[in-house]
Amino acid sequence: MANAEITTPLKTGRKGQFYSRAGADNGETSMLLVAEPILGSAEKTALCDVIDSGWITMGDRVRSFERMFASVHGTDDAVAVNSCTAALHLILEALGIGRADEVLVPSLTFVATLNCVLYVGATPIFVDVASLDTPLMSIEDAEARVTPKTRAIILMHYAGYLPADEDWRSFAERHNLVIIEDAAHAVGVQGVGRYGDATAFSFYGNKNMTTAEGGMVLARDPKVLSQIRQMRGHGITLDMRQRLKGRTPHYDVTMLGFNYRMDELRAAIGLVQLERLAMWNAKRKSLTDIYRQRLASLCPDVLVPFRAGAVTANHIMPVILPPDANRDEVVALLMQAGIQTTIHYSPVHRLSYYAKAFPNVRLPVTEAYAARELSLPLHPAMVSAQVDRVAAALADALTTL
């Protein structure tokens, strides 16, 4: 039954969300998607148990999920929230980042990384990536952009790959900066959360494990984590679960807080998903290894970023097309072949809102990478034959052009 669930195809709904599909039954053409969540009977049972319990928000399942997540990542505790965006925002608030502060950020990321800096009134300072082969924040470019106002760095673990921790810790210590790990792509990776002052994770529907929406926070300092726990629920000193167990209706508000809580339904799904995370990440690694072999053989002009064998969650499968390839035409040809692709990412500093707010940003390596990057399907529901299919279709598309 477990294998049947893993190979159940899915389809996209409105706004790019992912849902279970019965395409074969409806006569629809099966599309190989970039990402698919794996959901089945265990998740359904967990949801039913929550509904039957009558307690659907901020209960024992949320606490169990936090403890299990912390254990998997080798830390003592964690705080569950309703998105990675919330996690990043709370981290910046708890670390005291605010107006007049600057934060070093990548542009090769999702906009939430930047938005959270703006939420606290700080100024994002865009930093280029190191190279086409290593599209992680460049420590040399970061060094050139540090000023007396710089207070923090947000290191985004693109595609699930972690930057060199010793180099960045040394950099942060030299400039008296805090490190925030944006680990939306890197859940379950060995070493994630170990060198940042705080770390944010995502459980969005296309991530390595999902709760539909949701996030988690790790922090080096227990006091910071405790503050984040209180801030996620309006700054209230005792949540409903604590008041029930303490047999008191009384509470206080001692800080400005937010409505960033996780509910019991999502935590129940998270507990089920977390048990399978290591297996799913291993499957992603296996598929990535096959991709590297097939692409090297069939598409030698296509660059696969990062060193083979590097520790990673293998969240996405990015490739760099040859400089003379028309990416939009490649996308169209692959779509005709029943293969969805996407782009990770359009540089944030080039998007209209940010280009207007920060008009003079130039990041040549990020821009070159983003102009040629294409993300191929990668998720544990795939089999090796589908990797062969994608590699062959990509080779055909490049030859056709």
Residue 34 CA to residue 53 CA, distance in Å, equals 36
Where are the CATH 3.40.640.10 domain residues in the chain?
Answer: 43-270
What predicted TM-score, i.e. pTM, was given to this entire model? 0.92
Which amino acid type is present at position 367?
E
Instruction: Indicate the CATH number of 2-37+277-400 among 1.20.1050.10, 3.90.1150.10, 3.40.50.300, 3.40.640.10.
Output: 3.90.1150.10
Residue 193 CA to residue 217 CA, distance in Å, equals 9
Q: Which of 132, 67, 31, 123 is CA-nearest to residue 369?
A: 132
| CATH class of domain segment(s) 43-270 | alpha beta
Q: What is the DSSP string of 199-218?
A: EEEE-BTTSSS--BS-EEEE
Q: Which of 221, 220, 217 is CA-nearest to residue 203?
A: 217
Given this model, what pLDDT does residue 165 score? 87
SS3 state at 193:
coil
Where are the CATH 3.90.1150.10 domain residues in the chain?
Answer: 2-37+277-400
Torsion of CA 226, 231, 234, 240, to 10 degrees: -30
Which of the residues are catalytic?
207
Q: Radius of gyration of the chain from Cα atoms?
A: 22
Strands 150-156 and 178-182: parallel
Angle formed at CA 342 by CA 341 and CA 344, multiple of 5 degrees: 140
Given this model, what pLDDT does residue 28 score? 47
Residue 260 CA to residue 197 CA, distance in Å, equals 20
Residue 348 CA to residue 315 CA, distance in Å, equals 20
Q: Are 255 and 93 in contact (CB under 8 A)?
A: no
Q: Are 139 and 91 in contact (CB under 8 A)?
A: no
**Which tokens in the block code for residue 79?**
């705080």
Given this model, what pLDDT does residue 29 score? 54
Averages of pLDDT over each 10 residues, the chain, 401 residues? 34 35 44 97 98 94 98 98 98 98 98 98 98 98 98 98 94 98 97 95 98 98 98 90 78 96 98 98 98 98 96 97 98 98 98 97 98 98 98 97 83
Angle formed by the axes of helices 264-298 and 384-400, to 10°?
A: 50
Residue 349 CA to residue 357 CA, distance in Å, equals 9
